[in-house]
Every structure is written in C-alpha cells, then in structure tokens.
C-alpha cells in the first residue's frame, strides 16, 4: 500500500478471501497464540486488531483494525483500517475541536462587530490563525503517519501471511 499518495490520514483497504469467515477468524486466533514479540493480535467476533508492542512501540506506532464480513458462504470480505495510536488520535481530535471552537467563536464576534460597525481586524486575524493551525495539525499528522509507514508495511505483510 502506498501511503504517501493518500490524503486521508487513516488508510483503508479491502480484500476478498476465498475462505469462510469462521476459518479466517480461526487463522488469526491460532496465529495470535504464537509468541509474538513485535505485535499483539486481539480477536473479538468479526473484529481483529493488530498493535505494535515491546521495544518497537513508539507514539507514532499505528494499529490495524480488520472487520470481517461474509461475502458468500465460502468467501469473506475484509475491511482494513490503519490508524494512529488511540491516545494520539484522541489528542489530535481534541486539538481540532478546540481550533474549530475558537474559529466559530471569533466568527460570531466578527459578525457581531461588523453589524455594530466595530473593527473586525482582530477577529478575522484570529480566524485566519486558526485556519493556519488547522493546516499545521494536518501536516503534523502526515509526518506522524510517515514515521509509522514501515510498521504499517510490517503489519500488512503479517496480515497477508496469516490469511494465506
């Protein structure tokens, strides 16, 4: 998967497997019982999670969520979603909501000041600053994803090894 050409921060993929859903789940459950040193695999019903563990785990380490869906009786459709660590993702979402809130508040101030024929320079300046901060958050998130690319590729190789 080429992550550098994707705009989305959470990369997705889809794969169809010529095996029923129970057999695919069993493959992951059996593999998760192996002594894995770099990854942890959690299987719960039709959901499977891969996590980086041990000395390789960093704040930018991704995780992989797989959702198994029956396509036919002998075929399984797998939806994969790579994402950052949940704590980091929550922190980024918190920052995005703060930036959006500040932008909205100062947009209301700007509108009120404009209708009252007051200067709106400071309000518009802060709104512009929030747009710049929003783009800055996006590029920081892209850098975090870029640092985790090698681990994403390792997870993808492990995933393909398990299902084959």
pLDDT tens figures, 26-76? 888 888 887 677 888 888 889 999 888 888 888 888 889 999 999 888 899
Residues 6+ apart with CB under 8 A from 113: 119, 120, 123
- Dihedral of CA atoms 27, 29, 31, 36 in degrees, nearest 10, equals 160
The enclosing H or E element of 17 equals strand 12-17
pLDDT tens figures, 114-164? 999 999 999 999 999 999 999 999 999 888 888 888 888 888 888 888 888
pLDDT tens figures, 10-31? 688 899 989 888 888 988 888 8
Q: What pTM did the predictor assign?
A: 0.75
């Amino acid at each position: 998967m080429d992550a550098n050409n994707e705009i989305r921060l959470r990369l997705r993929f889809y794969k169809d497997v010529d095996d029923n859903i129970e057999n695919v789940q069993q493959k992951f459950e059996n593999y998760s019982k192996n002594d894995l040193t770099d990854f942890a695999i959690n299987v719960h019903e039709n959901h499977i999670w891969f996590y980086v563990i041990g000395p390789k785990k960093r704040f930018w380490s991704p995780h992989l969520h797989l959702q198994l869906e029956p396509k036919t009786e002998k075929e399984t459709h797998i939806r994969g979603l790579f994402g950052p660590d949940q704590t980091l993702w929550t922190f980024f979402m918190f920052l995005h909501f703060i930036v959006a809130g500040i932008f909205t508040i100062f947009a209301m101030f700007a509108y009120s000041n404009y209708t009252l024929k007051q200067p709106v320079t400071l309000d518009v300046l802060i709104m512009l600053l929030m747009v710049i901060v929003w783009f800055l958050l996006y590029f920081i998130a892209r850098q975090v994803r870029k640092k985790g690319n090698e681990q994403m590729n390792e997870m993808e190789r492990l995933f393909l090894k398990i299902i084959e």
